[in-house]
Amino acid sequence: MIIWIASYPKSGNTYLRSFISSYYFSKKGKFNFDLLLSILQFPSVKFAKNKINSELEASQSWVYNQKHFFSGEKLHFIKTHNSLNQYKENNFTTKDLSLGAIYIVRDPRNVITSMRNHYTLSYEEAYSKLINEKQTLLEKSIDGDHSNFTFLGSWSSHYKSWKDSKDFKTLFIKFEDLENNKYDTFLKIIKFINALKKDKSLINEKKLINSINSTNFSNLRNKEENEGFEESVNSKSGKKKRFFNLGFNNRWQKILPKNILSKLNYTFQNELNDLGYEIND
């Protein structure tokens, strides 16, 4: 069975995985990057039974591969950026395979600046991706394998696909709450996971605090600078770009050009209101 750690890209998924892996896969709640190997990504080449030669074939293989690698009673924490909306009439997962999910959502006006840095895009290019209902991710291996193919859709449809799903329980976490209400938010996450697992043991308070402190954003950034981080990408010049870049210092109010801010406020007005995000041009 799977517990999904889900999000649109650049929304805090790795931060959340760091905390969860620290609490559940370390002895004392002290984080190191190797712990992230306990929460791997799907879709990926690692979790593909056969070579996949097209995007359509990839979507047709999602449930098949999940059944092969994740069926049974053993619990798997799995990261994904995939939408729950169908792609070419193919479902991403099923209620028989998914025990539950934690979905982390981030203000799209901060997502766009993070995307722009990570993928080396202009604001207009990043905005076009956020509103594209057919947007996908594909990191091809050298032999053209499409096992990594991920269907995103727009930021709005992605969020709604997980929000509106009734197939399994989903806990929604706002990225900003990991800064503004850190302890209570992480405690809520642990309680949710334990309830899914039917684990009635007491929360390990000391381990919870250690997990929160050791995955503090500044600590993650320092670890990346000192140790490197394999999930970071190269810039167009070939130099490694910082994965843990601005974090909570990414403030759209100070960064976004006014024309892009106006577009985002207009396009995502309903979602921003639904999530309680400030709308201010």
Q: How far apart are CA 27 and CA 152, in angstroms?
A: 35
Find where tokens 């974090």 sit.
247
Say what the pLDDT of residue 139 is.
Answer: 64
Q: Is 97:62 a contact under the CB 8 Å cutoff?
A: no
Residue 99 CB partners (closer than 8 Å, separation 6+): 1, 2, 3, 75, 168, 196
Domains and CATH numbers, the chain: 2-275 (3.40.50.300)
Q: Give the helix/strand (H/E) hosting 100.
A: strand 98-105
Token digits of residue 29: 């709640």
Digit-coded pLDDT (tens) for 79-138: 999 999 999 999 999 999 999 999 999 999 999 998 888 788 899 999 999 999 999 987
Q: How far apart are CA 208 and CA 165, in angstroms?
A: 29
Backbone angles phi, psi at 35, to 5 degrees: -65, -25
Q: How far apart are CA 57 and CA 43, in angstroms?
A: 12
Q: How far apart are CA 200 and CA 191, in angstroms?
A: 9
Give the predicted TM-score (pTM) of the model.
0.88
Say what the pLDDT of residue 22 is.
Answer: 93
Say what the pLDDT of residue 34 is.
Answer: 85
